[in-house]
Amino acid sequence: MRFRPSRLQLALTAILLVAGLLVTWQVRVETSIRAKLRIPSQRLEELAFVLQEQARYRERLEAEIAALREQVERYEEAATRDQGAQRELRRRLEVLRLAAGVEAVRGPGVVVELRYSPRPLEPGDDPNLVLVHYTDLQAVVATLWAAGAEAVAVNGERVVSTTGLSCVGTTILCNARRLAPPYVVVAIGDPDALQAALEAEGGPLAALRAFQFPVRVVKVQEVRVPAYRGGFEFRYARAEK
Amino acid sequence: MWLPLVGLVVGVVLGLLVGVEIPLGFVKYTAIAVLAALDTVLGGLRAQLEGRFDLVVFTSGFVVNTCFAALLTAIGDLLGVDVYLGAVIVFSMRIFNNVSFIRRDLLRGLAREPEPVRPAGDS
């Protein structure tokens, strides 16, 4: 029997071999599951359900992320468009601020100095003959504008679109401020053109010089024109649009 | 009787040597199958001790019980019923039963007492 095993023994051996194999595999798998996942296999199903749920939840969140990212992109696009518009607006605003005179500016131009005539008044003389009138100043300023001046100030008072020169006694009113002689007009523009316009025959200075007013025109490479310090108040004028 | 034991040892060693990856989803089924196999082997041992071992019954019982246990568990999963719990309980009870009978048979064998007649019917 020892050297001639029966069929029964062979069959039993095969079955026990299979049984041993099965048990060992099962134990090994279970052990590895415990070692890797640290959970018994009975809970696998439950955990798989939780996992699936979480995976679905994650998918939803990912879709949400994608949607939000798209939204951000749209916003960014809009923002860049806005930035372009903003830059354009800022540029235009700068030009308008320069034009309105609310910003101090510097550049080449001329300085004009007007003084009262030193000629002594004789009895019976008209004192107007030795005084610089606001009209003289106005003529100078208008001539400067006409000659292409970009910024003009009189005694530190910026001449803006609403500025009017008027006469109060022996002083000149400009931007609701009294100006006293000597009157210094500074203008930024092409110095040669400005000077030529002022000195032209029949120009504003020619008449003053004829009456021996000390008048000086100096071309400068760099002159500063201060900003308008007053406010703008439009009570009647309304923008059309 | 040493040859089947050698088979068992060879099976265990083979299981240790040959790597196997049972998919996680099938671990439950194989567990039930192993339980059924264990029960069948113990039942066979008991039958042997009681002198009414039948190879055909034993072999068919081993194969069918093992496969059916796994199949039943799979069906239970399909139906959403934890049938494997029933299989676990039944096989566990049978294993305990078999072990206790084996123990008694062995004790009786040691005491050289006459064997009482017991209804047959073991797989």
Q: Write out chain B residues lying below 8 Å of A23, CB-based.
A: 11-12, 15, 34, 37-38
Question: For domain A105-225, is the CATH number 3.30.70.1880?
Answer: yes
**Within a 10 A sphere around the Cβ of A133, how many other Cβ atoms?**
14
The mean pLDDT value for A133-146 works out to 87
- Per-residue tokens: A77: 């696009």
Residue-wise pLDDT for A59-102, tens only, equals 999 999 999 999 999 998 888 888 888 888 889 988 888 888 88
Residue-wise pLDDT for A156-170, tens only, equals 888 888 888 888 777
Q: Return the domain boundaries, chain A.
A: 7-38, 105-225
For residue A53, give how far its alpha carbon lies from the nearest alpha carbon of chain B (Å): 17
What does DSSP say about strands A215-225 and A183-188: parallel, antiparallel, or unpaired?
Answer: unpaired
Inter-chain touch A23–B34, beta carbons under 8 Å: yes
A218 pairs with which residues across the strands?
A111
Region of residue A119 (phi > 0: left; psi between -120 and 50: alpha; otherwise: beta): beta
Inter-chain touch A22–B12, beta carbons under 8 Å: no
Inter-chain touch B37–A18, beta carbons under 8 Å: yes
Inter-chain touch B8–A19, beta carbons under 8 Å: yes
Using only the alpha carbons of chain A, give its radius of gyration: 48
Helix (H) or strand (E) holding A153: strand A151-154
- Per-residue tokens: A104: 């101090």
Name the average pLDDT for chain A: 83
Instruction: Please state the φ and ψ torsions of residue B113, each to the nearest 5 degrees.
Output: -90, 155
Q: Write out chain A residues lying below 8 Å of B8, CB-based.
A: 16-17, 19-20
Q: Which of A53-57, A183-187, A191-195, A211-215 has the lowest mean pLDDT?
A: A211-215
Q: Return the domain boundaries, chain B.
A: 24-111
Q: Write out chain B residues lying below 8 Å of A8, CB-based.
A: 55
Q: Are A181 and A115 in contact (CB under 8 A)?
A: yes
Inter-chain touch B55–A22, beta carbons under 8 Å: no
**Spatial separation of the C-alpha atoms in residues B52 and B121, rounded to whole Å:** 9
Helix (H) or strand (E) holding A205: helix A204-210
CB of B57 less than 8 A from some CB of A? no
A172 pairs with which residues across the strands?
A167, A179
B26 → chain A, closest CA residue: A41
A27 → chain B, closest CA residue: B31
Q: Evaluate if residue A24 carries a pLDDT over 70.
A: yes
B14 → chain A, closest CA residue: A21
- Per-residue tokens: A180: 């006293």
Q: Write out chain B residues lying below 8 Å of A25, CB-based.
A: 15, 20, 22, 30
**Spatial separation of the C-alpha atoms in residues B73 and B80, rounded to whole Å:** 10
For residue B87, give how far its alpha carbon lies from the nearest alpha carbon of chain A (Å): 14
User: How many helices, marked H, and strands, marked E, lie in chain B?
Assistant: 4, 0
For residue B104, give how far its alpha carbon lies from the nearest alpha carbon of chain A (Å): 23
- Predicted-assembly ipTM surpassing the 0.85 threshold: no
**What pLDDT score was predicted for residue A203?**
82
CB of B16 less than 8 A from some CB of A? yes
**What pLDDT score was predicted for residue A1?**
42
Q: Are A132 and A138 in contact (CB under 8 A)?
A: no
Inter-chain touch A19–B41, beta carbons under 8 Å: yes
Provide the percentage of residues in chain A whose pLDDT is more than 70. Answer: 94
Residue-wise pLDDT for A47-71, tens only, equals 888 889 999 999 999 999 999 999 9
- The angle at the Cα of B77, spanning B72 to B79, to the nearest 5 degrees, equals 95
B23 → chain A, closest CA residue: A29
Q: Evaluate if residue A187 carries a pLDDT over 90.
A: yes
